[in-house]
Amino acid sequence: MLRSVTATRYVAPLREGGSLPGLCEADDLGTYVVKFHGAGQGRRVLVAEVLAARLAAALGLAVPELVVAAVDPVIGRGEPDEEVQDLLLRSPGDNLGMDFLPGALSFDPAVDPVEPVWAARVLWFDALVLNVDRSWRNPNALWWGGRPWLIDHGAALYFHHDWARAAASAARPLRHAEDHLLLPVAGDVGEVDAACAAALTPAVLRAAVDEVPEGWLEGEPGFEGAEQVRQAYLDWFAARLAGPRPWVAELARVQREAPRG
């Protein structure tokens, strides 16, 4: 399960994204980028963050540690921004914290050296989880400690905003794949497909969905409880990973037709 901390001080809002995450200090003396369940599309964004991070880690891709960050809205009493105050008031209890990487720079594959095989694995991973939010406009990756780290996967798994149509998305290709940050430098995605799919065993998938706090799954329309929602995610991933994978074939086609950098 995710480690739990308690936010003790709200440091500053981070305005790069639309969900207004905040930099918070916690009782373990760590500093975290906290995403709040009261923002935007609510708890589903936090669920996407947990599931994507766990699958990325299973594929050998670096992601900052995630924690459950308990927030008392009172920590924002000194924040003059009314938008921040309102967000904290809407987000009492468990929120999602991501370990803050001090001094990290925005990752740029034109400057920061990466292996083509690594880039292909990231491309495959983003296609798997339908992550449309890793482009040159918004890299959602940091360079820290001499290597790239993947961050901000709240836009992934967008099918869970409309569960009635979720099954239809299991074979769907990655939208706007031609704009992916790593497309110009990635190796052949078809060559990493089998190994990536094999790494995501039923046990790995089960462990990933079990890490999502129950409170973020309860009350989902159309489901009787958190376990039914967990099973729905497992069923979607099973269908997504079943061979042959048309979304991989489509991604390989986009690669072949894209200009190389």
What does the block give as tokens for 173? 């290709």
Phi, psi of 110 (to 5 degrees): -75, -20
Residue where a domain terminates, one of 77, 99, 121: 99
Per-residue pLDDT, 15: 79
Starting at the edge strand found earlier in the chain, the sheet holding 105-106 runs: 105-106, 141-144, 147-150
Q: Are residues 17 and 125 in the same domain?
A: no
Q: Are residues 121 and 243 in the same domain?
A: yes
The alpha carbon of residue 7 and the mean position of all alpha carbons in its chain are separated, in whole angstroms, by 21
Residue 260 has pLDDT above 80, yes or no: no
Chain segment 46-77, per-residue pLDDT in tens? 999 999 999 999 999 999 999 999 999 999 88
Per-residue pLDDT, 18: 66
Residue 45 has pLDDT above 70, yes or no: yes
Chain segment 6-35, per-residue pLDDT in tens? 999 999 999 776 679 999 999 999 999 999
Per-residue pLDDT, 14: 92
Name the maximum alpha-carbon separation found in the chain: 55
Measured distance CA(256)–CA(250) in Å, rounded: 10
Residue where a domain terminates, one of 76, 99, 122: 99
Give Cα separations from 182 to 178, 207, 214 (angstroms): 10, 28, 34
Q: Are residues 73 and 110 in the same domain?
A: no
Q: What is the three-class DSSP state of 31?
A: strand
Q: Are residues 82 and 116 in the same domain?
A: no
Total-model pTM: 0.96
CB atoms within 10 A of CB 244: 9
Q: Are residues 226 and 119 in the same domain?
A: yes
Domain tally, the chain? 2
Q: Are residues 161 and 61 in the same domain?
A: no
Name the residue range of residue 138's domain: 105-257
- The average pLDDT across 158-186 equals 96
Q: Are residues 50 and 12 in the same domain?
A: yes
Q: Are residues 142 and 17 in the same domain?
A: no
Measured distance CA(195)–CA(193) in Å, rounded: 6
Residue where a domain terminates, one of 72, 99, 126: 99
Q: Are residues 143 and 76 in the same domain?
A: no
Per-residue pLDDT, 76: 85
Give the position of tokens 């740029």: 108
Q: Are residues 227 and 247 in the same domain?
A: yes
- One-letter amino acid at 41 equals Q
CA angle 148, 151, 152 (to 5 degrees): 155
Q: Are residues 118 and 21 in the same domain?
A: no
Residue 261 has pLDDT above 90, yes or no: no
pLDDT bucket at 40, cuts 50 / 70 / 90: confident
Shortest CA distance to 217 belongs to which of 3, 39, 43? 43
What Rg do the C-alpha atoms of the chain give, in angstroms? 18
Chain segment 102-160, per-residue pLDDT in tens? 999 999 999 998 999 999 999 999 999 999 999 999 999 999 999 999 999 999 999 99
pLDDT bucket at 41, cuts 50 / 70 / 90: confident
Overall size of the chain counted in residues = 261
Q: Are residues 70 and 139 in the same domain?
A: no
- The average pLDDT across 200-225 equals 97
